[in-house]
């Protein structure tokens, strides 16, 4: 638990669950993505702890027009605060600025840390996607990999582009980006095809544990390629199990539970007392390798990591 989390917990212990505010969260994550259920779990627990009424909203698909409309609708309700993810600043910027101009405190989480301040967002809770990619690429190179693919399951999400770009920088060798859809069956097929077309590829980076990391493991094992190293952004119980068994190399944990929990708590405290941290809060990255996988599996199964 970092210093900010400790401070928040201590303050909440003093105040008790009496900060009855309404806070709206608008995220871009799709309902079938387990990653976002963990974000939602964190936000809802923060509501329980603070007494705030939390409304968690997201479009049914990766649709920036629909997401902008959800933010506009939230602004019209004049809540005590709005939490947003910002995968596309050009598309969402006008709606976010509308919230700020209406006097509604806005905190961003997960994606958009590099543009949040320009949009008037109070602070960002998340990780630098580019830096996390650099760390992943450097670690993969240390492990001896020489040629990699980066599998992007959500084309158009700038944060995912930053992950692949950072990975290429840290890896410092050939990286090919493989675009796919948000469909594990298609991901498995595309990874298998990429490995079959180029036997020199010996590393796969996924940008989602459940949607890409686990299908990538299935593709590699179906080909009998035990020389291919596999890593992914984010966690899932299935991928962590593979890391603990040595079938995958590592997962990059951005602790998305905090990305849901902390912004709601900050906005509730701000509405009641005018309190707000003085800067962004980095929630990651942490590389979860074999020695730490077992500890993370139990919490992942509980929807906390």
Per-residue pLDDT in tens (0 to 9) along the chain, 305 residues? 455 555 555 555 544 445 568 999 999 987 677 889 999 999 999 999 999 999 999 999 889 999 999 999 999 999 999 999 999 999 999 999 999 999 999 999 999 999 999 999 999 999 999 999 999 999 999 999 999 999 999 888 888 999 999 999 999 999 999 999 889 999 999 999 999 999 999 999 999 999 999 999 999 999 999 999 999 999 888 999 999 999 999 999 999 999 999 999 999 999 999 999 999 999 999 899 999 999 898 887 788 88
**CA atoms of 239 and 251, how far apart (whole Å):** 8
- Position 191 in a domain: yes
Tokens standing for 301?
């199964």
Tokens standing for 270?
């701000």
Residues 151, 67, single domain; the answer is no
- Position 293 in a domain: no
Residue with tokens 């675009």: 179
pLDDT of residue 4: 53
Residues 117, 59, single domain; the answer is yes
> Which domain covers residue 66, as residue numbers?
22-127+255-274
Residues 137, 248, single domain; the answer is yes
pLDDT of residue 21: 80
Tokens standing for 219?
């593709």
- Position 291 in a domain: no
Residues 108, 169, single domain; the answer is no
First to last CA, the chain: 13
Residue 25 has phi, psi (to 5 degrees) of -110, 125
Q: Which residues pair with 108 in a beta bridge?
A: 84, 124
Tokens standing for 76?
């019209």
pLDDT of residue 20: 60
Residues 262, 235, single domain; the answer is no
- Position 13 in a domain: no
pLDDT of residue 250: 98
- Position 284 in a domain: no
Residues 176, 82, single domain; the answer is no
Count of C-beta atoms within a 10 Å radius of residue 70: 21
Q: Are strands 22-26 and 281-282 parallel, antiparallel or unpaired?
A: unpaired
pLDDT of residue 3: 54
Residues 246, 265, single domain; the answer is no
Residues 115, 145, single domain; the answer is no
- Position 9 in a domain: no
Residues 99, 151, single domain; the answer is no
Residue with tokens 């390798």: 289
Residues 153, 189, single domain; the answer is yes
Residue 242's CATH number:
3.40.50.2300
Residues 268, 234, single domain; the answer is no
- Position 198 in a domain: yes
- Position 238 in a domain: yes
Residues 165, 231, single domain; the answer is yes
Q: What is the DSSP letter of 69?
A: H
What lies within 8 Å, CB to CB, of 3 at 6+ separation is none
Count of domains in the chain? 2
């Amino acid at each position: 638990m970092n210093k900010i989390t400790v401070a928040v917990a201590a303050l909440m212990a003093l105040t008790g669950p009496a900060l009855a505010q309404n806070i709206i969260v608008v995220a871009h994550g799709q309902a079938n993505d387990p990653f976002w259920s963990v974000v939602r779990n964190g936000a809802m627990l923060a509501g329980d702890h603070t007494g705030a009424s939390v409304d968690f909203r997201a479009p049914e698909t990766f649709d920036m027009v629909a997401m902008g409309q959800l933010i506009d609708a939230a602004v019209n309700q004049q809540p005590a605060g709005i939490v947003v993810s910002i995968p596309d600043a050009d598309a969402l910027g006008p709606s976010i600025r509308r919230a700020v101009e209406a006097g509604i405190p806005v905190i961003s989480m997960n994606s958009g840390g590099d543009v949040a301040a320009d949009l008037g967002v109070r602070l960002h809770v998340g990780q630098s996607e580019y830096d996390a990619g650099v760390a992943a690429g450097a670690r993969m190179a240390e492990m001896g990999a020489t040629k990699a693919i980066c599998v992007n399951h959500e084309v158009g999400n700038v944060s995912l582009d930053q992950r692949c770009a950072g990975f290429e920088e840290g890896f410092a060798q050939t990286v090919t980006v493989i675009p796919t859809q948000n469909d594990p069956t298609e991901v498995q097929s595309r990874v298998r095809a990429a490995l079959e077309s180029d036997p020199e590829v010996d590393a796969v980076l996924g940008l989602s544990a459940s949607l890409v990391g686990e299908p990538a493991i299935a593709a590699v094992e179906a080909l009998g390629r035990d020389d291919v190293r596999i890593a992914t952004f984010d966690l899932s119980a299935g991928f962590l199990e593979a890391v603990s068994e040595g079938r995958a190399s590592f997962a990059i944990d951005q602790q998305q539970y905090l990305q849901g929990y902390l912004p709601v708590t900050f906005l509730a405290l701000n509405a009641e007392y005018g309190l707000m941290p003085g800067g962004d809060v980095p929630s990651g990255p942490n590389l979860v390798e074999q020695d730490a996988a077992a500890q993370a599996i139990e919490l992942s199964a509980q929807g906390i990591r």
